[in-house]
Amino acid sequence: MKFIVSSASLLKKLQLISGVISTNTVLPILEDFLFLIEQDSLKIFATDLEISMSTTVEIDSKETGKVAVPAKMLLDILKMLPEQPVTFSINQDNFAIELTTDTGKYKLAGENPDDFPKLPEAGDTQSVDMPSEVLTHAIAKCLFAVSNDELRPAMTGILFELDPSELTFVSTDGHKLVQYSRKDVNVQESAKFIVPKKALNLLKSALPTEVTNVTLAYDDTNAFFTFQDVFLSTRLIDARFPDYGAVIPKDNPYLLTIDRGLFQNAVRRTSIFSNKMTNQIVLALAGNQLQLSAQDLDYSNEASEKLDCEYDGEDLKIGFNAKFLNEMLGVMDGNEVKMKLSTPTRAGLLVPAVDEEHSDLLILVMPISLNV
């Protein structure tokens, strides 16, 4: 069995799905790509049993067949090759693979493709179509607030909440929470499910920069994302997401409006002098002025800055984790942001200063006690 393919085209497609592959797996076959040759196209699969991805590249061949190819070795040689046609010759008796280029030959041992795990297929599912930018924005805005705590599995992914009136994405780690909603997606059936962090990182990397249609299909155990020639399936997190609505304060009467860039840069500068354990930064609001301050008593480091702002509320001093605050300001859009506050012990809310036509973003951050 033989086929010819562009080295650059093949490398690009392999890199697109190679993030699925785990290097510390107990099943050696999971360190391989599955190649499915169908005359003028090569379909490539990768899986870690929880997440699977596939894509297609054009080839020159008159044959059909399949083989499992060691992923790391193939990627390493393709990265070192200049753009050129590469001929793959596969012995279907022992699965030996020979790569022939203009200047050399490379042999590697393939594996029996029948040992490759059977990949999940979208069967009896519900589905919704959406522009790729919806997913791109949702992942970018929510991913930083996803927890890494495996003891709380529900928080290690993003909640997809489908409703005929809107599509909502929520993430939280117990210290911060993001709620991002879109009203420009046509949802037929209501549903809720949690997509794991790794799958979303892979999806974010694979989504094209140009806007394209993405079909999301789902059942009780899996979600399937299809766009262009890419297919990603992931097992859903089987856990109950926290009742996030109960922790979002309904009445935060004090309103701070401030230039986002100036605020974020001041947070970054001041946080350099904060305690490295707490990353605490103190916001003191009085009149139309915001003072940011931080100190590390262990090393006698301290800093303070003053910024002009619009503030409607009583004088207030409240502490936050500067790292969290910086991440939140980094995912906000627009030149200005609003911060809704109440007391030094209640959560603060960050929202865009200007409402978007088809989307809503709310970010919650828990305060740090000022006596820490």
Average pLDDT over residues 9-13: 98
Q: Nearest Cα to 290, choosing from 320, 245, 249?
A: 320
Q: Which residues pair with 37 in a beta bridge?
A: 42, 65
What pLDDT is stored for residue 372 in this prediction? 45
Selected from 3.10.150.10, 3.40.50.2000, 3.40.50.1860, 3.30.540.10, the CATH number assigned to the domain covering 248-365 reads: 3.10.150.10
Is residue 189 a contact partner of residue 16, using CB atoms and an 8 Å limit? no
Q: What is the predicted pLDDT for the residue at 123?
A: 78
Residue 304: per-residue pLDDT:
97
- In order of 110, 136, 325, 369, the CA distances from 205 in angstroms are 28, 9, 25, 38
Query: What pLDDT does 25 receive?
Result: 80
Name residue 160's beta-bridge partners.
169, 193
Instruction: State both tokens at 356.
Output: 């978007």
- In the chain, domain spans: 2-115, 126-245, 248-365
The arithmetic mean of pLDDT across residues 223-238, rounded, is 97
pLDDT, residue 39, reads 85
- Thinking of the domain 2-115, which architecture would CATH place it in? Roll (3.10)
Contact 319, 280 (CB under 8 A): yes
Structural tokens at position 275? 């305690």
Is the predicted pLDDT of residue 120 greater than 90, yes or no? Answer: no
For the segment(s) 126-245, the CATH number from 3.10.150.10, 3.40.50.620, 3.30.70.20, 2.20.70.10 is 3.10.150.10
pLDDT digits (tens, 9 = 90+) for 43-78: 999 999 999 999 999 999 999 999 999 999 999 999
Same fold, 2-115 and 248-365: yes
- Cα 176–357–290 angle (5° rounding)? 45
State the CB neighbour count (10 A cutoff) for residue 210.
8
| % of the chain exceeding 90 in pLDDT | 93
Question: Is the pLDDT reported for residue 8 higher than 50?
Answer: yes
Express each pLDDT in 180-219 by its tens digit.
Answer: 999 999 999 999 999 999 999 999 999 999 999 999 999 9
Give the pLDDT mean for 28-41. Answer: 95
Find out whether 239 and 194 touch, Cβ atoms under 8 Å: yes
Give pLDDT, residue 327: 97
Closest CA to 93 of 4, 1, 28, 29: 1
- How confident is the model over 116-145, as a mean pLDDT? 93
How are beta strands 280-286 and 157-163 bridged, if at all? unpaired
Give me the chain's average pLDDT, please: 95
Q: Which two tokens stand for residue 352?
A: 């865009």
SS3 340: strand
Residues belonging to the chain:
372
User: Model pTM?
Assistant: 0.93
Query: pLDDT-derived band of residue 371, with 50, 70 and 90 as boundaries?
Result: low
Residue 18: predicted pLDDT: 97
Please check whether residue 57 is in contact with residue 44, taking contact to mean a CB–CB distance below 8 angstroms. yes
Rounded to an integer, what distance in angstroms lies between the CA atom of residue 90 and that of residue 105? 13
Q: Are 358 and 182 in contact (CB under 8 A)?
A: yes
- pLDDT recorded at residue 121: 82
